[in-house]
Amino acid sequence: MNSVSGRIEISLGDITKLKVDAIVNAANTSLLGGGGVDGAIHRAAGPELLDECRKIEGCPTGESRITGGHRLPARHVIHTVGPVWTGGGEGEPALLESCYANSLRLAAEQEIQSMAFPCISTGVFGYPKDLACDIAVSTVTKWLRGNERPGYITFCCYSKADKLLYEARMKKT
């Protein structure tokens, strides 16, 4: 399967409202909630998500863990911890790529067909949006060219500017 055409969508909106098999949470290492998309996912999923995350006992940067979706339309939440941007010389690009690759691997192992990613690390973690977008799109398209699952990916952007950035980057793919 070489084409990713028709397997990637770029949307603008609230990731907690998407009806996909799994949404990806841009989490912190504790997995116990926080600001931005992480806080929104925890609020929408309800206290059961926090209870399940407590049992996991955290997640290192660049890795991913999976839980139930609880009160979300999505059946699963894949939590991944993106790097905090410190200028790019501390392995941030490889860690961010690992977030996407590990989330995709977990999705494939769980036979997840559709999933949605937020813009990982670009909020309070300060990763430059254009660089993060390049890593997200290149990692996901490379995965899709070699794997059947997940079959469908949504990049869920919170702002119109992010959506335009992803659309422009996808045109280069």
Active-site residues, by number, are 38
DSSP-derived secondary structure letter, 49:
H
DSSP-derived secondary structure letter, 149:
S
| Residue 16, token pair as written in the block | 């907690």
Integer angstrom CA distances of residue 128 from 20, 50, 122, 153: 27, 29, 6, 22
User: What is the C-alpha separation between 67 and 161, in angstroms, rounded?
Assistant: 30
Q: What are phi and psi of 42, to 5 degrees?
A: -65, -40
- Looking up tokens 């070699």 gives 146
Element (H, E) at 79: strand 76-81
